[in-house]
Chain A
Amino acid sequence: MRSPEHVELVRNNPDLPPVAVIDRRPMTPGKKLIFAVIGLVAAVAWALVAFVRGEAVNGAYFVVAAVGTYVVAYRFYARLIEYKVVRPRDDRATPAEEHENGRDFAPTDRRVLFGHHFAAIAGAGPLVGPVLAAQMGYLPGTLWIIIGAVLAGCVQDYLVLWLSTRRRGRSLGQMIRDEMGRVGGAAGLIGVFVIMIIILAVLALVVVNALAESPWGVFSVGMTIPIALFMGVYLRFIRPGRVSEVSVIGVVLLVLAIVAGGWVADTTWGAEMFTLEPVTVAWLIVGYGFLASVLPVWLLLAPRDYLSTFMKVGTIVLLAIGVLIAQPAVQAPAVSSFAIEGNGPAFAGSLFPFLFITIACGALSGFHALISSGTSPKLVEKESQLRLIGYGGMLTESFVAIMALVTAISIDQHLYFTMNAPGSLTGGDPATAADYVNGLGLGGTPATAADIQGAADAVGEESIVSRTGGAPTLAFGMSQILGSFLGGAGMQAFWYHFAIMFEALFILTTVDAGTRVARFMLSDTLGNLGGPLRKFRDPSWRVGAWICSIVVCGLWGAILLMGVTDPLGGINSLFPLFGIANQLLAAMALALVTVVVVKKGYLKWAWIPAVPLVWDLAVTMTASYQKIFSPEPSLGFWANHNAFREAREAGETSFGTAADTAAMDAVIRNTFLQGTLSIVFALLVLTVALVALWVCVKAIRAGGLPTSEEPDSQSAMFAPSSLVPTDAEREVAAQWTAYYEENPDKLRTGTHA
């Protein structure tokens, strides 16, 4: 071992090998050189991305700039957080070791847990947000995805994971109640529930927009249900536990379903049967969500989850390889006029705050706090591994977001806006859409109706005009990138539907699981009210489960239908609400972390969670303020509401983009609901933030306060902390291997060096 005088081996039991390695060795000159080179390469890539203008910007520069920054941030900033805030103690047993039951509490190899955690946090969010944000140009999105992840998103994930690991894997809501009292806890609980509903609705809306009027998409995504049912039956009755085997079968069937979708959509009966109106698709998804939340997990949810994990990792790897091989040229400007004037067609509002709202997942996603508390803390072997799982997991998601952004900005700008502007602007057919996008002043060659129709034909769709929601745009970009080296133009339609399929698969898995979680939250809350409602606490009471499922599906279904039928275009008013909701959840999580850091007396380092918290509050509160108080009808919900109401009261029969009184009434209703939700979100978070501030002041006055951290218990196992074990860790691991060879009865199930 190199310079052993700086390495301390910690033993809890003199008869056992060491349980922790405290390594204070300075970096070797070789390593310093490597990091210097990585930093330099990243800096050069950043310079190319930020300053080179014109045709030459290459999509691969973004990937290099991102990865270089991640490596440096992980090595230095995450390490600082580890030293100053987390202060991991590997002589302490984690919940997985202390409460090991071989089931939900089980020490799990860090690399496996990393994959597990990543699969749980990554979904459609990091793919959709950056695509919409591409309307502002490539630079703002790139900066926010990378810097936001490094300073905010990863910090949140890492520190929430840390809090939950020191508290037996308690959930975010419980931790807020424990640390901030009942008022903060109640606001947190209601906040989580409302946010969950809006997230489900918006994600479902993305699927509706991708599947409506697309017989190919409807058929292949619809086929995922029988495939999942088959997998469920296979796992239960034919070969229990053969998860990877059935997943491979499922993926093969899935690919067949995509190919078959093309055949079916080509027949007259297929086109007739599977070309569905948006409202029909919406009702089908609501019905599906209800069924999925009351059917047993083994039949539908678990097999879908396996498929989703497989497809997720596979597609992300495929896209990364695609971007690096195809090296698409960037078509978008660095900063578009929409960023400054705030009049973009995909979503309204200027760069600050709406860019930071639109890209939530991939930079800072509050939803991760729900995932980071709960499952992963019950599986981690050592506290020092949390950096890899929490910080590293979120860096990976940020990388996914960067690739989605590269995909979107490499699409021809005229086609991008053809797809992302609502139907009220494009007029819905290629000729009017061409006129509209040519009037945007995008530069480059103007688009013709034939170009637009040609693009639709290339991906096997009837039309690409106003296919909003982000998923079709990403699929279109992916089909170009993957088609350029895998199968050529002939395969473009396959890749397009492949991308639609995996996005829909992620989202529907989130919808299944989210509806179920929300249902349980509702029944728990009702049960806790006491009286005759106490019955709701019994999870096996089927009537209660049905009632709660209907309520939850009704809530998100209503918002979904509202979005689908919105004369103003649905996604552009709802997606900001989704972003705000997600970021507000992040504010709650960061407030909790800041409170605990202050209570523990690490005041000097409280800026680590406080800086992202203050930034996030500034973003979300400005966005909420503008959404509530802006006099600009395209931005402010209430301004729009009042404008339409006045027009209606004045007896007008059409107003703005609403062609008749029914459409006007729809706008009045929708803006009322959206405006009310904005107010509720803002108030809930302000409550949590104020309670957090109050607890912090109390803690500072008292010079620190006790936290709800569990008492120490001594560890009796060892596991390396980094991805690649150090020489010191290898030596200790070898001692444990020798020890287990002598005492085979002591061998732990999850212990791997």
Chain B
Amino acid sequence: MSSHPVAGRTADGGGVLAVVRRGWRALAWYVTGVLGESDYPRYVAHLRRVHPDAAVPTAREYWRDRYAEQDANPGARCC
């Protein structure tokens, strides 16, 4: 589950290192979210929850399908 670190605020110790680690995780969570990288784990999680019997695609299969879908339904980019 991609539970993100900002709200988690779990007590993973004090110290500068922990703060840096948390900051890095928050950044990674955000960047992968905006770029769409975390879409695959999200899809897998969705499948496991809603269709537990369905076969889970590998990352390779997932991204192939996803780009094929984008091929068929293009989205506009703004000027």
B39 CB, min distance to chain A CBs, angstroms: 8
- With a 10 A CB-CB cut-off, give which of A308, A509, A752 has the most chain B CB atoms: A752
Interface size on A (CB < 8 Å)? 68
A398 within 8 A of B: no
In the assembled complex, the Cα of A196 lies from the Cα of B34 at a distance in Å of 26
Residue of A nearest to B65 (CB): A103
Contacting pair A124 B32 (CB below 8 A):
no
| Overall SS of chain B's interface | helix
Some 18 contacts from A to B, beta carbons below 8 A apart, are A101-B46, A103-B66, A106-B43, A111-B30, A116-B36, A119-B34, A236-B67, A240-B63, A297-B74, A298-B67, A365-B78, A367-B76, A370-B78, A510-B78, A510-B79, A517-B75, A749-B45, A752-B3
B6-46 Cβ-contact flags toward A at 8 Å (1 or 0): 01000000000000000000001011111111011011011
- Interface size grouping (class) on chain B: 35 or more
Contacting pair A370 B30 (CB below 8 A):
no
Contacting pair A361 B79 (CB below 8 A):
yes
Residues of A contacting B73 in the complex (Cβ-Cβ under 8 angstroms): 520
In the assembled complex, the Cα of A481 lies from the Cα of B45 at a distance in Å of 46
Contacting pair A109 B33 (CB below 8 A):
yes
In the assembled complex, the Cα of A365 lies from the Cα of B78 at a distance in Å of 9
Also in contact, A243 and B75, with CB within 8 A (given A102-B45, A109-B4, A748-B49): no
- Which residues of A, 218-248, contact B by the 8 Å Cβ criterion? 235-236, 240-244, 247
B-contacting residues of A (Cβ < 8 Å)?
Answer: 100-104, 106, 108-109, 111-112, 115-116, 119-125, 196, 199, 203, 235-236, 240-244, 247, 296-298, 301-302, 305-306, 308-310, 361, 365, 367-368, 370-371, 374-375, 509-510, 512-514, 516-517, 520, 539-540, 582, 733, 745-750, 752-753
- Which residues of B, 45-79, contact A by the 8 Å Cβ criterion? 45-47, 49-50, 59-60, 62-64, 66-67, 69-79
A218 CB, min distance to chain B CBs, angstroms: 22
| Overall SS of chain A's interface | helix
Residue of A244, A509, A752 near B31 (CB, 8 A) is A244
In the assembled complex, the Cα of A112 lies from the Cα of B75 at a distance in Å of 18
Residues of B contacting A753 in the complex (Cβ-Cβ under 8 angstroms): 7
Also in contact, A124 and B7, with CB within 8 A (given A103-B43, A296-B71): no
B23 CB, min distance to chain A CBs, angstroms: 15
Contacting pair B42 A368 (CB below 8 A):
no
Residues of B contacting A514 in the complex (Cβ-Cβ under 8 angstroms): 76-77
In the assembled complex, the Cα of A196 lies from the Cα of B74 at a distance in Å of 14
Also in contact, A749 and B49, with CB within 8 A (given A302-B67, A305-B77): yes
B5 CB, min distance to chain A CBs, angstroms: 10
Residues of B contacting A103 in the complex (Cβ-Cβ under 8 angstroms): 39, 43, 66, 69
Residues of B contacting A745 in the complex (Cβ-Cβ under 8 angstroms): 49
Also in contact, A309 and B34, with CB within 8 A (given A109-B4, A297-B67): yes
Contacting pair A749 B78 (CB below 8 A):
no
- With a 10 A CB-CB cut-off, give which of B45, B49, B71, B77 has the most chain A CB atoms: B77
Contacting pair B74 A241 (CB below 8 A):
no
Contacting pair A513 B74 (CB below 8 A):
yes
Residue of A102, A108, A374, A520 near B47 (CB, 8 A) is A102
Also in contact, A747 and B1, with CB within 8 A (given A119-B34, A240-B60, A243-B35): yes
Residue of A203, A302, A308 near B70 (CB, 8 A) is A302
Contacting pair A749 B30 (CB below 8 A):
no
Contacting pair B76 A240 (CB below 8 A):
no
Residue of A nearest to B45 (CB): A749
Contacting pair A516 B74 (CB below 8 A):
yes
In the assembled complex, the Cα of A678 lies from the Cα of B77 at a distance in Å of 24
In the assembled complex, the Cα of A749 lies from the Cα of B30 at a distance in Å of 15
Also in contact, A297 and B43, with CB within 8 A (given A241-B59, A244-B31, A517-B76): no
Residue of A nearest to B66 (CB): A103
In the assembled complex, the Cα of A509 lies from the Cα of B79 at a distance in Å of 9
Residue of A nearest to B63 (CB): A240
Residues of B contacting A199 in the complex (Cβ-Cβ under 8 angstroms): 79
Residue of B nearest to A519 (CB): B74
In the assembled complex, the Cα of A244 lies from the Cα of B60 at a distance in Å of 16
Residue of A102, A116, A124, A236 near B34 (CB, 8 A) is A116
